[in-house]
Amino acid sequence: MFSGLAIAVLAMSLLSGFKSAPLQTIRVSGTGGAIATMRILGEAFQRSNPGIRIEILSGMGSSGAVKAVQAGRLDIGLSGRALTGEERARGLLVETRYARTPFVFGVNTTLKMTTLMLEEVAGIYSGERDWENNKRIRLVLRPLEDSDTPILKGMSPAMREAVDIALRRKGMMMAMTDQEAADAIESVPGAFGGTTLALFLSEKRAFRVISLNGVMPSVRTMVDRSYPYSKPFFMITRKTPPAPVRRFVDFVRSPAGAAILARNGQAAVRQERPLP
């Protein structure tokens, strides 16, 4: 017969052999428009993968995320653009396009506008349209190197010229991140600027998204091409990422991931080959 002390020692010994394995952490950050939805995706993934923790870090922009993955500080970088030729030529990284979202214009609720034609938007950027119903329109700009700027310039020749003019105008509000831009549109009376439907829905923002050329931006109108302006989202990883990273990428591209993306203003993109 075992004594009480012997049984206690045996029980402690057995328990120590069944210690849970340490959590494997996947560090994710990047373009601000994708961050909130990726947090929701991470929470859903963790429910069925309790041994893996998705750590969402503060947004650092597309280029910052690419550099951080390359340096080993991130496992997945979220980018609003594809890798550049120079980034791809280094042979360390691979991109996986996983979603796209309508690129939209948000207005502060002090402005009454609900719809604009694209030429009217160009007038706001060029400075020809600075007022609306006796309210000053305060344009929120993004830096030249930001991934939103090529989207704005690509909308039309008039927008290309207007954005170049706007970037030269004095005293303009310049938002360095997606969240700073959304904060300004939300809080500054008369503010107007570009953002994404993904950010607007996933962060439950309190500004108004306007219709453009008579079409309201949505996943449906983007997919049927009646609303033609969109922004892509990519996951940037090492070429041979660890198994947990591959598993999370696969989850984002799964039907369950697509449903979460759709609820947050994004259409899943799955035609590209998954990671090896």
Question: What CATH number is given for 23-100+231-268 in this structure?
Answer: 3.40.190.10
Q: What is the pTM of this model?
A: 0.86
- State the pLDDT at residue 130: 85
Helix, coil or strand: residue 259: helix
Burial 162-186 (b: 16+ CB within 10 A, else e): bbeebeeeeeebebebbbbbbbbbe
Candidate from 13-27, 123-137, 153-167, 214-228 with smallest mean pLDDT: 13-27
- State the pLDDT at residue 31: 94
- Check whether 109 has a pLDDT greater than 50: yes
Candidate from 5-14, 152-161, 184-193, 248-257 with smallest mean pLDDT: 5-14
The confidence band for 239, taking pLDDT boundaries of 50, 70 and 90, is very high
The confidence band for 271, taking pLDDT boundaries of 50, 70 and 90, is low
Mean of the pLDDT values across residues 152-179? 95
E runs forming strands in 155-260: 173-174, 191-196, 208-209, 211-212, 230-238
Q: Element (H or E) spanning 267, and its range?
A: strand 267-268
Mean of the pLDDT values across residues 23-30? 94
- State the pLDDT at residue 273: 47
Instruction: Show the tokens assigned to 45.
Output: 């993934």
- State the pLDDT at residue 10: 47
- State the pLDDT at residue 132: 82
- State the pLDDT at residue 2: 46
More confident residue, 3 or 77: 77
Mean of the pLDDT values across residues 92-115? 96
Percent share of the chain, pLDDT over 70: 90
Residues found in the chain: 276
How far, in Å, CA of 262 to CA of 193, rounded?
23
Which backbone phi and psi does 182 adopt, to 5 degrees?
A: -65, -40
Instruction: Give me the chain's average pLDDT, please.
Output: 90
- State the pLDDT at residue 12: 54
- State the pLDDT at residue 21: 59
Which residues lie closer than 8 Å to 11 by C-beta, 6 or more apart? none
Q: In three state form, how does the secondary structure of 1-51 look?
A: CCCHHHHHHHHHHHHHCCCCCCCEEEEEEECHHHHHHHHHHHHHHHHHCCC
Architecture of domain 102-223: 3-Layer(aba) Sandwich (3.40)
Q: Which tens digit of pLDDT belongs to each residue from 49-92? A: 999 999 999 888 999 999 999 999 999 999 999 999 999 888 89
Closest by CA to 177, choosing from 95, 63, 258, is: 63
Percent share of the chain, pLDDT over 90: 81
Parts of the chain belonging to CATH 3.40.190.10: 23-100+231-268, 102-223
- Check whether 7 has a pLDDT greater than 90: no
More confident residue, 240 or 17: 240
Mean of the pLDDT values across residues 252-276? 84
- State the pLDDT at residue 20: 56
